[in-house]
Amino acid sequence: MTVAAIMTLDKIHAGIPLYQQIANHLILHIRRGTLPKGYRLPGSRQLAKQLGVQRGTVNAAYDELVIQGWVKAMPRSGFFVRNNLPDVSPQHWRQEDTEALPYPEKTAYGLQQMDHLQLPLIKGLPGLAFNDGFPDLRLAPVQALGSHLRSIMLKPVYRRLLSYGNVEGNDALRVELSQYLNETRGLNTTPAHIFITRGSQMGIFLLAQTILRPGDNVIVGQTNYHVANASFVHAGANLFRVPVDKQGIDVDAIAQLCAQQPVRAVYVTSHHHYPTTVTLGADRRINLLALARKYGFAIIEDDYHYDFHYDSNPILPLASADTDGHVAYIGSFSKCIAPAFRVGYIVAPPNLLQVMGRLRRIIDRQGDSLLEQAVADLLKEGEIQRHLKKVRKIYQDRRDAFCRRLHDVLGDAVVFDPPAGGLAVWAGFDPAISLPRVAARASKSGLYVSDGTVYNPPGINLNSARLGFAALAPEEMKQAIQILKESLQP
C-alpha cells in the first residue's frame, strides 16, 4: 500500500486547503502507527504525481508536518517521521483507514447519571401552543433593544465593556435596577444589593449552591417549579413539600416542620405561585417572615411574573418587608423582553452577593456586559416601563378573553380560577379525562398542550396543566381552544 492510497482528498468542495488535507491524513496515520517512527515519506514529486496535485502542495504539507513536529526534514535524504514521538503500537494499513475515524459518541469512562437533572425541557414551540406562560415574542421590544445594543457596540466610550468586568454584573444596570426595583417593588436597595445573572434560573442555582450545604432541609410547595427543586437537590438538600391552596403555600405547615427539624431555606413564588398562579395571602407573608426570624432560615423568593398583574396593584414582594436579611429576591427580564435575552438579577445583602460572586467566577466569570448596558439604557429612558404598560393591557385583555372562552367552550371539563396576574391559567381537568391522551391528540391537530406530568409531585396525579394564554392573538386563541375541546372527546 502506498502513502497516496491512504488518502482521499476532496478537491472540489473542501473548505480545507489541499495541503492541509494531506498533512491531516499523514498526522492521522502517524498517530495510529501506520506510518511508524523513522518512516521515510515519499518524495514530494512522486506523491504529488500519485495524488494528482501540484508538487508545491505536497511540499507545503510536509513543511506543515515539520512545523508541527511530526516529521523531520533531513537535507538531501527526505522527510522522516520523527523518532521522539510517543510509542504507539504499529498498525497495518487497511482500506478503511483512508477515512478519518468519526468523533466518538460516548466517553471512554463512566459518567455520574445525576437522575435528578433528568427533567423535561419546556421550550417555546413554533405554531399553536398553550405554552408554560411565555410572553408573545411578536411584541418583544427588540427594535429598541437592538438599536441600543448597536450603538453601545459602536461607541468608543463603551469599549471598556468588551473586556472582563465585575462578577456582579454591569454597574450601570445595577444602578438603574436598584432605582427601578425601589420604585416598583417597594424595596430599599442600593446598587450594592444587586447582582446581575443570566436569568432567574441562574439566580436559583447560585443561591442554592451558596446558601445550602449537603443535608440541609429546604421547604417547597407540594407542587413547585420542578427546576428549582432540581437545583436544591443538586446542592445536596432534602426537599420537604408542603401543601399549596388558594392562599398560596401553607405557612402553618411550614411552622410545623420548623418545630420538628432545622430548616435552612424556604422557596416561594409568592406573587404568582408556580404552577398554580395563586398569590400568597398577606397574612401568610407576615407569618412567613416572622417564622424566618424565629428559626433563622433563608427565603428564596422567585418573582418570575411580577411585572404582570391585572386586577389591582401588585402585592409587594416579601423582600420589601425584610429588614433582617432573610430574603434573597430573584427576578428577570425573560418575560418582559424575551427569554433569549439572558438578563436576570438577585437582590440580597452584599455579604451573600460577595460569596456568590466568587462562585460565579468559576462558572461564568461575568454576564453579557453589552446586553446588560442596553437593558440599563432601556430602563433609564423608561422604554421597559412603557413596554410593560402596553403589554400588560394586551395580556389582561387576552386573559379575560381566554378565561371567558375556556369556560364557555369547555364548561365543567376544566376547572380554573382566572389568575390575578401572570401569563398562564392553571387548569385542572376532569379526572375522567386523561391529560396525556388529550395532549397527544391535540398535538396531532397541531396544538401543543402539556400532558401535565411535569407539574405532578412524586406519586400524585394532579391532572392539571398551565395553559399559557399571553402568546395567543385572539384568532389563535379561538382555534387553540377549539382544538383542545375536540381533543377532550372520549
Ligand X SMILES: Cc1ncc(COP(=O)(O)O)c(C=O)c1O
- Distance in angstroms (rounded) separating the CA atoms of residues 191 and 138: 32
Q: Which is nearer to ligand X, 172 or 424 (CB)?
A: 424
430's CB contacts (< 8 A; 6+ apart) are 412, 413, 414, 415, 463
Q: Cell 433569549 identifies what position? A: 340
Check: CB of residue 219 under 8 Å from CB of residue 267. Answer: yes
User: Judged by CB under 6 A, which of 79, 232, 274, 469 binds ligand X?
Assistant: 274
- Distance in angstroms (rounded) separating the CA atoms of residues 238 and 200: 22
Q: Which is nearer to ligand X, 97 or 132 (CB)?
A: 132
CB of 208: closest distance to ligand X in angstroms? 12
User: Judged by CB under 6 A, which of 171, 216, 302, 383 binds ligand X?
Assistant: 302
Site for ligand X in 186-225 (CB under 6 A): 199-201, 225
Site for ligand X in 374-413 (CB under 6 A): none
Per-position b or e across 205-216, b if 16+ CB within 10 A of its CB: bbbbbbbbeeeb
- Distance in angstroms (rounded) separating the CA atoms of residues 191 and 175: 5
CB of 239: closest distance to ligand X in angstroms? 16
> Is residue 270 within the footprint of ligand X (CB under 6 A)?
no
> Is residue 269 within the footprint of ligand X (CB under 6 A)?
yes
- Distance in angstroms (rounded) separating the CA atoms of residues 268 and 249: 8
> Is residue 307 within the footprint of ligand X (CB under 6 A)?
no
Site for ligand X in 143-182 (CB under 6 A): none
Q: DSSP state, 5?
A: G
Q: Which is nearer to ligand X, 210 or 332 (CB)?
A: 332
CB of 214: closest distance to ligand X in angstroms? 23
User: Judged by CB under 6 A, which of 36, 42, 339, 428 binds ligand X?
Assistant: 339
CB of 58: closest distance to ligand X in angstroms? 54
Terminal Cα distance for the chain, rounded: 69
Q: Which is nearer to ligand X, 116 or 293 (CB)?
A: 116
Q: Which is nearer to ligand X, 258 or 300 (CB)?
A: 300
> Is residue 469 within the footprint of ligand X (CB under 6 A)?
no
CB of 206: closest distance to ligand X in angstroms? 12
Name the residue type at position 245.
Answer: D
Q: What are phi and psi of 29, to 5 degrees?
A: -80, -25
> Is residue 332 within the footprint of ligand X (CB under 6 A)?
yes
Site for ligand X in 41-100 (CB under 6 A): none
Q: Which is nearer to ligand X, 116 or 123 (CB)?
A: 123
> Is residue 232 within the footprint of ligand X (CB under 6 A)?
no
CB of 333: closest distance to ligand X in angstroms? 8
Q: Which run of H or E residues covers position 276?
A: none
CB of 305: closest distance to ligand X in angstroms? 8
Check: CB of residue 318 under 8 Å from CB of residue 327. Answer: yes
Q: Which is nearer to ligand X, 41 or 266 (CB)?
A: 266
- Distance in angstroms (rounded) separating the CA atoms of residues 425 and 407: 12
> Is residue 304 within the footprint of ligand X (CB under 6 A)?
yes
Beta bridge partners of 196: 345
> Is residue 308 within the footprint of ligand X (CB under 6 A)?
no
As to burial, measured by CB atoms within 10 angstroms (0-12 exposed, 13-18 middle, 19+ buried), residue 127 is exposed
Q: Which three cell numbers stand for residue 201?
A: 434560573
CB of 220: closest distance to ligand X in angstroms? 11
Q: Which is nearer to ligand X, 30 or 140 (CB)?
A: 140
How many CA atoms lie less than 13 Å away from 226 in the CB half-sphere? 15
Q: At what angle do helices 44-51 and 55-68 cross, to 10 degrees?
A: 120
Q: Which three cell numbers stand for residue 392?
A: 400588560
> Is residue 124 within the footprint of ligand X (CB under 6 A)?
no
Candidates 61-69, 331-339, 348-356, 377-385; binding stretch for ligand X (CB under 6 A): 331-339
- Distance in angstroms (rounded) separating the CA atoms of residues 38 and 81: 5
- Distance in angstroms (rounded) separating the CA atoms of residues 170 and 174: 6
Check: CB of residue 356 under 8 Å from CB of residue 195. Answer: yes
CB of 288: closest distance to ligand X in angstroms? 18
Helix (H, G, I), strand (E, B) or coil at 73: strand
Dihedral sign, CA of 406, 452, 122, 383? Answer: positive
Residue count, binding to ligand X (CB under 6 A)? 13
Q: Which is nearer to ligand X, 29 or 305 (CB)?
A: 305
CB of 79: closest distance to ligand X in angstroms? 56
Residue with the shortest CB distance to ligand X: 199
Q: Which is nearer to ligand X, 121 or 157 (CB)?
A: 121
> Is residue 334 within the footprint of ligand X (CB under 6 A)?
yes
Task: Give CA angle at 188 (322, 374), nearest 5°.
Answer: 120
> Is residue 344 within the footprint of ligand X (CB under 6 A)?
yes
Residue ranges that bind ligand X, judged by CB under 6 A:
132, 199-201, 225, 269, 274, 302, 304, 332, 334, 339, 344
